[in-house]
Structure 1
Amino acid sequence: MFIQSKDSFKTKSKLQVGSQSYTIFNAHKIQHPNIKKLPVSLKVLLENLLRHEDGLHVSKEDIDSLLSLSNESLTREISFFPARVLMQDFTGVPAVVDLAAMRDAMKSLGGDPKKINPLVPVDLVIDHSVMVDAFGTPKSFDENVKMEFERNHERYVFLKWGQNAFQNFKVVPPGTGICHQVNLEYLGKTVWSNQGPEGANAFPDTLVGTDSHTTMINGLAVLGWGVGGIEAEAVMLGQPLSMLIPEVVGFKLDGKMQEGTTATDLVLTITQMLRKKGVVGKFVEFYGPGLATMSLADRATIANMAPEYGATCGFFPVDEQTMKYLRLSGRDAATIALVEAYAKETGLWRSEEAEKHYHFNDTLHLDMSTVEPSLAGPKRPQDRVVLAGAAEDFKKQLVAGFQVEADKATKSASAVTVDTQNYSLGHGDVVIAAITSCTNTSNPSVMIGAGLVAKKAVEKGLTVKPWVKTSLAPGSQVVTDYLERAGLQTYLDKLGFNLVGYGCTTCIGNSGPLDPPVAGAVEKGNLVVASVLSGNRNFEGRINPHVKANYLASPMLVVAHALAGNMMIDITRDSLGNDSSGKPVYLKDIWPSSQEIQDTINKTVETKMFDTRYGNVFAGTEDWQKINTTSSQVYNWEKSTYIKNPPYFEGMALKPEAVHDVKGARPLAILGDSITTDHISPAGSIKKDSPAGRYLMSHGVDAKDFNSYGSRRGNDEVMVRGTFANIRIKNEMLQGVEGGMTKYVPSGETLAIYDASVKYQSTMTPLVVIAGKEYGTGSSRDWAAKGTRLLGVKAVIAESFERIHRSNLIGMGVLPLQFHPGTDRKTLHLDGSETFDISGIESGMKPQQDLMLTIHRANGQKEDVKVRSRIDTAVELEYYKNGGILHYVLRKLV
Structure 2
Amino acid sequence: MRLVDTTHTLTVGNQDYRISSLRKAAEQLGSVDRLPRSLKVLLENLLRRHDSDAVQPEDLQALVDWQHQGGRSDREIAYQPARVLMQDFTGVPGVADLAAMRDAVSELGEDPQKVNPLSPVDLVIDHSVMVDHFASPDAFRDNVQIEMERNGERYAFLRWGQKAFDNFRVVPPGTGICHQVNLEYLGKSVWTQEIDGANWAYPDTLVGTDSHTTMINALGILGWGVGGIEAEAAMLGQPVSMLIPEVVGFKLSGALREGITATDLVLTVTEMLRQHGVVGKFVEFYGDGLAQLPLADRATLSNMAPEYGATCGFFPVDEETLKYLRLSGRDEQQVALVEAYCKEQGLWREPGDEPVFTTTLELDLGSVEASLAGPKRPQDRVTLSDLKSRFDELMALSLTPAPGSAEGKLEAEGGQPVNDTPETAEVELDGQRFTLDQGAVVIAAITSCTNTSNPGVMLAAGLLAQKALEKGLQRKPWVKTSLAPGSKVVTEYLKAAGLDKSLDALGFNLVGYGCTTCIGNSGPLPDPIEQAIRERDLTVASVLSGNRNFEGRVHPAVKTNWLASPPLVVAFALAGRVDIDLSQEPLGEDSNGQPVYLKDLWPSQGEIADALEQVNTDMFRREYGAVFDGDADWQAIDVATGNTYDWPTSTYIQQPPFFSGMSPQPEPVEDIDKARVLALLGDSVTTDHISPAGAIKADSPAGRYLQDQGVTPENFNSYGSRRGSHEVMMRGTFANIRIRNEMLENVEGGETRHYPSGDQLAIYDAAMRYQDEGRPLVVIAGREYGTGSSRDWAAKGTRLLGVRAVIAESFERIHRSNLLGMGVLPLEFIDTDRKALGLTGEEEISLKGLAELSPRQELKLEIAYPDGRTEQVDVRCRIDTGNELAYFQHGGILHYVLRRMIGKA
Q: TM-score, normalised by structure 2?
A: 0.96
- Trace 1:464-863 onto structure 2 (pairs within 5 A): 464-602=475-613, 604-821=614-831, 823-842=832-851, 844-863=852-871
Question: What's 1:166 paired with?
Answer: 165
Hey, what's the Cα distance between the residues in 1 that align with 2:716 and 2:168? 29
C-alpha change, 1:674 and 1:169, in structure 2 (3 Å) is: same
Cα pair 1:435 1:472 within 8 Å, conserved? yes
Give the CA deviation at 1:698. Answer: 0.5
- Match in the other structure for 1:130: 129
Distance in 1 of aligned mates of 2:71 and 2:248: 17
The 8 Å contact of residues 473 and 504 in structure 1, kept in 2 or not, is answered as yes
- What's 2:348 paired with? 349
Superposed counterparts of 1:6-17, under 5 Å: 8-17=3-12
**Cα distance change, pair 235–528 in 1 and its aligned pair in 2 (3 A):** same
Is the aligned partner of 1:866 residue 2:874?
yes
In 2, distance between residues paired with 1:576 and 1:455?
Answer: 15
Letter paired with 1:205: D
Structure 1 position 198, deviation (Å): 3.6
* Residue 34 of structure 1: how far off its partner (Å): 3.7
Moved more, 810-819 or 593-602: 593-602
Is the aligned partner of 1:391 residue 2:365?
no
The 5 Å alignment of 1:318-397 reads 318-353=317-352, 355-356=353-354, 358-397=355-394
Residue 884 of structure 2 corresponds to residue 876 of structure 1 = yes
Q: Residue 88 of structure 1 contacts residue 127 of structure 1 at CA under 8 Å; is this kept in 2? A: yes
Tell me if 1:23 matches 2:33.
no
Give the aligned partner of residue 67 of structure 1: 64
CA shift at 1:417, angstroms? Answer: 1.3
**SS where residue 33 of structure 2 aligns?**
helix
Runs (5+) with no aligned partner, structure 2: 402-406
Matched, 1:57 2:54: yes
Check 1:397–1:49 CA distance in 2 against 1; reply closer, same or farther (3 A cut): same
Structure 1, residues 622-676: CA drift from partner, whole Å, max 9, x if none? 1111111112110000101000001101121011000121010010000000000
CA–CA distance in structure 2, aligned partners of residues 121 and 652 of structure 1: 28
- Tell me if the contact between 1:399 and 1:409 (Cα under 8 Å) persists in the aligned partners: no
Q: CA RMSD in A?
A: 1.6
Per-residue CA deviations over 1:435-462 (Å, capped at 9, x if unaligned) read: 0001000000100000001000010000
SS of residue matched to 2:321: helix
Counterpart CA distance in 2 for 1:334 and 1:462 is: 49
Moved more, 649-658 or 414-423: 414-423
The aligned length equals: 884
Q: Secondary structure at the residue paired with 2:586?
A: coil
Aligned to 1:183: 182
SS at match of 2:388: helix
Q: Which residue of 2 aligns with 1:246?
A: 245
2:204 is the counterpart of 1:233: no
* Structure 2 contact 96–655 (Cα < 8 Å) conserved: yes
Name the amino acid aligned to 1:437. Answer: S
Q: Provide the C-alpha distance between the structure 2 equivalents of 1:430 and 1:514, rounded to a whole number of angstroms.
A: 12
Alpha-carbon deviation of 1:408? 11
Partner SS, residue 469 of structure 2: helix
Task: Tell whether 2:411 aligns with 1:400.
Answer: no
Give 2:426's match in structure 1, choosing from 417, 427, 432.
417
Q: Which segment is superposed worse, 29-38 or 572-581?
A: 29-38
Helix, strand or coil for the counterpart of 1:589? Answer: helix
Instruction: Indicate how the Cα distance of structure 1 residues 63 and 877 shifts in structure 2: closer, same or farther if over 3 A, else same.
Output: same
Q: What does residue 46 of structure 1 align with? A: 43
Distance 1:113 1:333 in 2: 41
For 2:778, what is the secondary structure of its paired residue? strand
Measure, in 1, the Cα distance between the counterparts of 2:594 and 2:454. Answer: 33
SS in 2 for 1:423: strand
The answer for the alignment partner of 2:210 in structure 1 is: 211
Secondary structure of the 2:806 match is: strand
Rounded Cα–Cα distance in structure 1 between residues aligned with 2:348 and 2:663? 50
Is 1:437 equivalent to 2:434 in the alignment? Answer: no
Question: For residues 489-524 of structure 1, what are the alpha-carbon distances to aligned partners after superposition, in whole Å with 9 as ceiling and x for unaligned?
Answer: 100000000000000000010000000000000010
Counterpart Cα distance in 1 of 2:468 and 2:70: 56
State the alpha-carbon separation in 2 of the partners of residues 99 and 697 from structure 1.
Answer: 29
Aligned-partner Cα distance in 2 for 1:539–1:61: 43
Q: Deviation digits for residues 106-130 of structure 1, max 9, x if unmatched?
A: 0011111001100110000000000
Name the structure 2 match of 1:3. Answer: none
Whole-Å Cα distance in 2 between the matches of residues 206 and 23 of structure 1? 17
* Partner SS state of residue 18, structure 2: strand
* Distance in 2 between residues matched to 1:372 and 1:413, nearest whole Å: 36
CA distance in 2, matches of 1:72, 1:474: 39
TM-superposition CA deviations, 1:534-563 (whole Å, max 9, x none)? 000000010001101000000010000011
1:314, distance to aligned residue in structure 2 (A): 0.2
What is aligned with 2:118?
119
Q: Contact between 1:411 and 1:428, CA under 8 Å: does it hold in 2?
A: no
Q: CA deviation at 1:54?
A: 2.3
Cα shift readout 1:755-795 (whole Å, capped 9, x = no counterpart): 00000000110000000000001000100000000000000
1:419 Cα offset (Å): 4.4
AA aligned opposite 1:475: G
- Residue by residue over 1:372-408, the C-alpha shift from the partner in whole angstroms, topping out at 9 and shown as x without a partner, is 0000000000000011000100110122257589999
Kept in 2: contact 1:402–1:528 (CA 8 A):
no
Return 5+ residue gaps in structure 1 as ranges.
1-5
Give how far 1:293 is off: 2.2
AA paired with 1:16?
A: T
User: How do 1:78-157 and structure 2 match up within 5 A?
Assistant: 78-157=77-156
Q: Distance in 2 between matches of 1:462 and 1:72?
A: 55
How far did 1:840 drift? 2.5
CA distance in 1, matches of 2:300, 2:345: 27
Deviation of residue 427 (structure 1)?
A: 1.3
Q: CA deviation at 1:746?
A: 1.6
In the alignment, the residues of structure 2 paired with residue 294 and residue 530 of structure 1 have an alpha-carbon distance, to the nearest angstrom, of: 31
Normalising by structure 1, report the TM-score: 0.97
Query: What's the CA shift for 1:599?
Result: 1.6
Tell me how far 1:426 sits from its aligned partner: 2.0
SS in 2 for 1:692: helix
Conserved in 1, the CA contact under 8 Å of 2:72 and 2:358?
Answer: no
Q: Tell me whether 740-749 or 498-507 shows the greater mean CA deviation.
A: 740-749
Counterparts in 2 of 1:402 and 1:533: CA distance versus 1, 3 Å: farther
Is the 2:692–2:793 contact (alpha carbons within 8 Å) kept by the matching residues of 1? Answer: no
CA contact (8 A) 1:427 1:527 kept: yes
Preserved CA contact (<8 Å) 2:588 2:595: yes
- Aligned to 1:286, the other structure's residue is in SS state strand
Is the deviation greater in 55-64 or in 612-621? 55-64
